[in-house]
Chains A and B, each alone.
Chain A
Amino acid sequence: MTSFTLIEKIIRNRTDVSDSEIYPNNIVWVNLDLVTARDYAGPQVIDLFQKNYIGSKTFNNEKVIFTPDCYPYGNDPKHAKDQEKIRVFAKEHGIKVTDLGSGIGSHLLFRRGFSKPGDVVIGADSHYNILGALGILGQGAGDVMLAFALKTGKSWIKIPETVKIILKGDYEWPTTAKDLALYVLKELHEYGITGKAVEFYGAIIDKLSIEERVTLCSLITEASGVIGFVPADKITADYYSKIGIEIEMLSADEDARYISELVLDIQDLGQYIACPPHPHNVKKIEEVMGTPINSIVIGSCTNGSSADIHDAAKILKGHKINPNVRFGIVPATREDFVSINLNGDMTIILESGGNFFGVGCSTCAKGQYGLTGGETAVTLTTGNRNTQGKIGPADVYLASPVVAAATAIEGKIAAPKEVVKR
């Protein structure tokens, strides 16, 4: 009996080939549980589908969802047309659309139970691997793969080698899952996980909520990894049971073959920040404390949940945003927006001088909220990319919602502890 890592096991359950074909670096076809596309790339996927497969139906309209989440409502005629193309195609083929204002597709997949642990899902989003936080094999895919998948329900994958990562120790607030994710990114980029999967273990995992696990897994793309998994456990099962879904807790075999094992000491982990020009240029916050910042965004699939916004609201309560700072919040999903309304966080943030800009993606692509135009707009976001020129011509830093909030008050990179003490 062969033993398998988690990704090998998931692939094995979704392929027609025999067990002897399930080994690292082999390429296999997988049967997809769900194919999605959004207002970025979705229109091109539709064009390719219609051009190459004239008159065809999709492989299964109930296994396709369009999740427009990139561009705001009617801010640009080109985007509005693209969004309409999705609606027209979806109607014609009987496909579900989570339309503008619903939220980031990858988050809706678990929040609304469209995907569950053990599923294989692809979408036009390079951070679809955040779904690894729930034991789902989510993968970003380009236009061609998605058009092919719409027709066939299949995609191919090079089975990655897996690195087993053990997170040893514990940390305390104001260190959060984002600091952990940044520290892990720094270590993994140096270690080298290009094209590899990772599985996270360690006592800390039992303490992390689904939102915190998503944050942890969200920076694997920035280390060029395939996916980071937190195998489904009781926390995952409880999460799904609240939306009436029973899950299977798929885990790696005990004697699974890992390419390597890495122990990362996270005891008393401090706070970290990704500095320009790469997400992996991660430093201790002390090294850049005091750097002037004038544009701050809390949002993205990495840190846009209500829990993240709550973290910021705790810091902001009773404080005013520095007048030199523009401070925007873009909740990940409608559900997150409702939560922060109900618990009062939205009022706290509005009273402090923060602003809300709809629901969905942010600071990642043209037309989205949070981009800057000038050489003088130095940005700090809770997102996942700070590549030169992506958000604007000036420098971009990536940090946790608590660091973002403390920085918003001070107008320069600040540690939350100092702000709260005052």
Chain B
Amino acid sequence: MSKETIKAKAKLVIVDDIDTDQIFHQSLLTIHDPNEIKPHIFGNLEGYKSFGKEDNVGKILLVGKNFGKGSTRQQAVTGFIAHGITAIVGESFGPIYYSNSVNSGLLLVEVPGISEFKVKEDDNLEIDITQSLIINQNNGETIKCVKIPQPVLDIIEAGGLLKLGEIM
């Protein structure tokens, strides 16, 4: 991943208040292998239950408000990494989900007012980390995102928090 920009196609799951139980259901908690987690992602989210079987490798996932609220479960992050999702962009995230993602090396980008951003499935998006901007290359729309804090970029750059722990 380049540090300055990320370019990828958009995958839309614009639903507010998606709970971790809708991402990865509690009945599956004894599953920990990323490849086994993968097919169950959004398995309890009406309208998106086929997500687990789709190919969304390399895409940027667009979500709504309070994404990942609910339980502390790491699998709700691991599953998107297994799918090869590059980053998740949303209006806001559950605080535990935010740290779980960063710790696993998955970038989350907060965008206040994301519902105003005109984007269609598979539009080509660019996240400009330096300028804190998201650009839709298909229609030229841009929107400001919250500046990604440096420690977050450092953890992601290190390959996740556990790597940092080796030297602490």
Indicate if the CB atoms of A366 and B30 lie closer than 8 Å: yes
Tell me which of B2-10, B94-102, B137-145 binds A: B94-102
B156 shortest CB reach to chain A, Å: 12
Tell me which of B51-59, B116-124, B128-136, B158-166 binds A: B158-166
Chain B residues lying within 8 Å of A385, measured Cβ to Cβ, are 19, 21, 70
| Residues A142 and B165 in contact in the complex (CB < 8 Å), given A27-B152, A390-B26 | no
Chain A residues lying within 8 Å of B92, measured Cβ to Cβ, are 194-195, 224
Determine if A156 is an interface residue (Cβ-Cβ < 8 Å). yes
Which chain A residue lies CB-closest to B152?
Answer: A27
| Residues A141 and B72 in contact in the complex (CB < 8 Å), given A366-B27, A366-B30, A387-B21 | yes
**B28-85 CB contacts (< 8 Å) to partner A:** 28-30, 32, 44, 46, 65-66, 69-74, 77
Determine if A139 is an interface residue (Cβ-Cβ < 8 Å). yes
Chain B residues lying within 8 Å of A366, measured Cβ to Cβ, are 26-30
Tell me which of A146-154, A237-245, A298-306, A307-315 binds B: A146-154
Binary CB contact string for chain A from 104 to 145 against chain B (1 if under 8 A, 0 otherwise) = 000000000000000000001110000000000001111111
Indicate if the CB atoms of B44 and A388 lie closer than 8 Å: yes
Determine if A44 is an interface residue (Cβ-Cβ < 8 Å). yes
Indicate if the CB atoms of B28 and A126 lie closer than 8 Å: no
B165 shortest CB reach to chain A, Å: 4
Determine if A182 is an interface residue (Cβ-Cβ < 8 Å). no
Indicate if the CB atoms of A390 and B100 lie closer than 8 Å: no
Indicate if the CB atoms of A140 and B72 lie closer than 8 Å: yes
B54 shortest CB reach to chain A, Å: 20
Indicate if the CB atoms of A27 and B151 lie closer than 8 Å: yes
Q: How far is the CA of A365 from the CA of B70 in the complex (A)?
A: 12
Indicate if the CB atoms of B72 and A142 lie closer than 8 Å: yes
Q: Can you name 16 extra interface pairs (CB under 8 A) apart from A156-B155, A365-B26?
A: A78-B30, A126-B71, A140-B71, A141-B72, A144-B104, A145-B100, A148-B165, A152-B168, A158-B99, A160-B95, A222-B69, A224-B66, A226-B95, A278-B19, A387-B70, A389-B44
A interface residue numbers (CB < 8 A to B): 25-27, 40-41, 44, 47-48, 52-53, 78-79, 82, 124-126, 139-145, 147-148, 151-152, 154, 156-158, 160, 194-195, 221-222, 224-226, 278, 280, 364-367, 385, 387-390
